[in-house]
Amino acid sequence: MTSEMISKFYDFSGRSMVITGGGGVLCSEMAVAIAACGARIAILDRDLSLAQKVSDRITKSGGTAIAVQADVLNLDRLAEAKEQVTKTFGDVDTLINGAGGNNPKATTGAAQPFFNLPPEALRFVFDLNIVGAILPSQVFGRSMAERKRGNILNVSSMNAFRPLTRIPAYSAAKAGVSNFTQWLAVHMAQEYSPEIRVNAIAPGFFLTEQNRFLLTDQATGALTERGKKIMDHTPMARFGTPHDLLGTVLWLLSPASAFVTGTIVPVDGGFSAYSGV
């Protein structure tokens, strides 16, 4: 295999991709990297202004992107988003299910014991992370099934491997995302085409707007007690940066991983490998 053949693995020219939650910290960097490889990418987000910022960033650097408002829990709105993307870019061959997150009301603490977590907060977390991956996969995966090829990449979490304290709904929901990834990989390959692949990444601890002040002190920037525990159990002894995800994401979206499906890849600085001793 020549170097030219290898470099073509990561040439996404002519491919149309969609990323949900594309206005977020991690997903926005994925979108920028994918566009830099030549893909046409639709940035879907519930907040159109966030999606537009990412789209503008890509187009200003010479890439091709559009911003589309979409709620991953609204099937009709997803269908409208698909129609908009298809009219602009043609058939979608890649979907990244990046939308997800936790809810403070579904987090335990001194003032909020597990027994008092409100059902509506628990449902919100489950719906956002699991249903929010299933519905886009139905909408955009249908045309992949018809065309007998495609690629779906989900975003799971280290919580799926090792449940973390205080966030029971989020941990369980992300475990569901990993399970759904494996289920859908088998279903698509057996029922439609082995050229439809479904995988997931499982990020470890990355500083985002959601968790920054759980892991670092807002006033000093020093690690909180929770942040210290994470560092003590991360062999690489640092938080991940958005760029740390890109190599794995690009690999899973490329022909270089053509024989990989149903896999959840940790990107965690060794957290999942360390027993603590």
Catalytic residue positions, numbered: 170
Q: What token pair was written down for 143?
A: 């045309």
Write the DSSP assignment of 164-191 as a string of letters: PTT-HHHHHHHHHHHHHHHHHHHHHHHH
Distance in Å from the first CA to the final CA of the chain = 42
| CB neighbourhood size of 105 (10 A) | 14
Spatial separation of the C-alpha atoms in residues 271 and 232, rounded to whole Å:
9
Spatial separation of the C-alpha atoms in residues 177 and 81, rounded to whole Å:
22
User: Which helix or strand (DSSP H or E) is residue 53 part of?
Assistant: helix 48-60
Q: What token pair was written down for 88?
A: 């602009």
DSSP state of 163: P
Q: What token pair was written down for 206?
A: 């990355």
Tokens 């569901």 correspond to: 176
Spatial separation of the C-alpha atoms in residues 65 and 62, rounded to whole Å:
10
Q: What token pair was written down for 100?
A: 């997800």
φ, ψ of residue 170 in degrees (nearest 5): -65, -45
